[in-house]
Amino acid sequence: MFTLFVFMLVFPVFAHAQGECPLSHCPDGWVTFRGSCYYISDNVSVDWTEAGHHCQLHHADLVVIETKEEDMFIRSQLERMYRLSNQHAGEEFWLAANDQMVEGVWTWYTNDTPLEYTGWYPGQPGSEGDEDCAVIASRPDNGNLVFNGWHDAPCAARHHPICEISSGQYEPGVVGK
């Protein structure tokens, strides 16, 4: 019994020291992947600037996708949410990337750095018209909805924000949805 007591006292400290996430790592309703927290605001449809503000209200930013693994994780979350909702075909989801400053030079607004990893759909960014903000788009495929790549879109269009709290940024009690 005493051993169990000591274990319960020591284990959380040990787990923390090893860099593992405590269960309360993300706010309720957010999902976690490799230390970041994510929230897909499927009930909010706003332009790109408003999408950034929406995430700020939750002490987050629009999602910055830095690796293929992170991209696949976000797309799998979208596919899980919309798997049975073909009526949502065509819906799009804002990322933090834009080329508003210099046409064709895509940066993450969160730190003004150029994109390294990109998940553009073949042929994108297309730059048809005035398309300076990036989305993950959905397309129907054999009765399913697939999220198969990034597209450039008009920043004034209304889409759903995907918010991210980067690893290390989450302060319990401060952030909520």
Return residues touching Ca ion (CB under 5 A): 64, 99, 127, 132
Local structure of 107: helix, strand or coil: strand
Q: How far is the CB of 39 from Ca ion (least distance, A)?
A: 13
State in angstroms the smallest separation of the CB of 12 from Ca ion: 26
Q: 86 vs 127, which CB is nearer to Ca ion? A: 127
CB 33 within 8 A of CB 80: no
Q: How far is the CB of 163 from Ca ion (least distance, A)?
A: 11
Specify the residue, 63 or 145, whose C-beta has the smaller distance to Ca ion.
63
CB nearer to Ca ion: pick between 37 and 145: 37
Q: CA–CA distance from 54 to each of 25, 161, 167 (Å)?
A: 21, 8, 19
Nearest distance from C-beta of residue 33 to Ca ion, angstroms:
9
Q: Is 42 exposed, middle or buried (0-12, 13-18, 19+ CB in 10 A)?
A: middle
Is the CB of 87 or the CB of 112 nearer to Ca ion? 112
3-state secondary structure of 95: strand
